[in-house]
Amino acid sequence: MNQLSSIASDYDMIRAAIRYLSEHGPDIADLQGFALSLGLTERQLTELFRRWCGLSPKSFAQAVALDHAKSLLRQKQSVLDTTYQVGLSSTSRLHELFVAYEAMPPGMFRSGGAGLDMIWGTALSPFGTAVLTATEYGLSGIGFADEHTSVDMAFADLAHRWPNARFIRNDAHIAPLAAQAFDPGQWLADRPVRIVLIGTDFEVKVWETLLKIPLGQAATYQGVANHIGKPSASRAVGAAVGRNPISFVVPCHRVVGSTGALTGYHWGVPRKRAILGWEAGVISAAP
């Protein structure tokens, strides 16, 4: 089993752990009780988190705590409009620096993908089973399946925006694209993850802005609205963030409410917490 497969196989247990943290809060005073609730020893619990994200259970809990989100927003460097100082000069292997994107022509969007062939398939990810779609230009969609959302449901969620496209399932074709998206070891500047942004002009502007939020940072819906020159459109920004078709790679999970609250996420708030905690582990492992 390779490293990504091992990490992916841990996600069901991690999801149960996140459910526990959501109910009991981020301050883990009773680590033994936390472990026992999952049927693990304290050592096994620590090894699970170390294996999955490189953090201790307590560090993971702190990484996704509400207070952590608030503290990010209190720091000027974490507000979207001042984060652009974190660029290629950064020593961190920031995910967004290794994503190349382009927007589909408006005519293709209006036609619902008429004449467009898309490949789709499933692959392992650190956050459960991922469902991906791709065109010849790059990834066009990422969603997730779990006990509440079947693979078919997740695929339908991604495909419905392109009612006139032809979808062909090919898991083998999707596998290397998924590995490049989810494996930090493959986030390489000379081989960027190629994605295709497909939406209205407003949505594409919002998604382009999301790509500029650095790993470990947070932005508010209002901050995104200000950045695109639409300060009164925070609700519309929220809707566009919710319609982001390329979850994780286009980091809509880094957008929080004005108070720092981890507000709704299309694929579930527990998964949003998981992604934020996992990214904290990526940052701690960065050179």
Question: Looking at the structure, do residues 249 and 143 belong to the same domain, yes or no?
Answer: yes
Q: What is the pLDDT of residues 198-257, one digit of tens each?
A: 888 899 999 998 988 877 777 888 888 988 899 899 999 999 999 999 999 999 998 887
Q: What is the mean pLDDT of residues 263-269?
A: 84
If one counts every other C-beta atom within 10 angstroms of the C-beta of residue 159, the result is: 18
Looking at the fold, whether 106 and 237 belong to one and the same domain comes out as yes
Same domain? For 171 and 268 the reply is yes
Mean pLDDT of the chain: 82
Boundary residue ending a domain (63, 79, 108): 63
The pLDDT of residue 19: 85
Q: How many CA atoms lie within 13 A of 166 on its CB side?
A: 4
Lowest mean pLDDT among 22-36, 62-76, 83-97, 213-227: 83-97
Q: Indicate the residue among 38, 63, 88 that finishes a domain.
A: 63
pLDDT at residue 275 tops 50: yes
The total number of residues written for the chain in this structure: 287
- Percent above pLDDT 70 for the chain: 84
One domain for residues 38 and 158: no
**259 in the same domain as 178:** yes
Residues 106, 161, single domain; the answer is yes
Question: What's the CA gap between 227 and 20, in Å, rounded?
Answer: 36
- Judge residue 152's burial from the number of C-beta atoms within 10 Å of its C-beta, 0-12 exposed, 13-18 middle, 19 or more buried: exposed
Instruction: Decide if pLDDT at 194 tops 50.
Output: yes
- Range of the structural domain that residue 35 is part of: 3-63
- Taking the model in full, what pTM does it have? 0.85
Active site residues: 252
Identify whether residues 24 and 162 lie together within a single domain.
no
What does DSSP assign to residue 134?
E
**DSSP secondary structure string for all residues of 194-258:** EEEE-S-HHHHHHHHHHTTS-TT--EEHHHHHHHTT-TT-HHHHHHHHHT-SBTTTS-GGGEE-T
Mean pLDDT in residue range 154-168: 93
Q: Is the pLDDT of residue 67 over 60?
A: no
Indicate if 148 and 36 belong to the same structural domain. no
DSSP string, 253-280: GGEE-TTS-----TT-HHHHHHHHHHHH
Q: What is the CATH number of the domain that holds 280?
A: 1.10.10.10
What pLDDT score was predicted for residue 80? 45
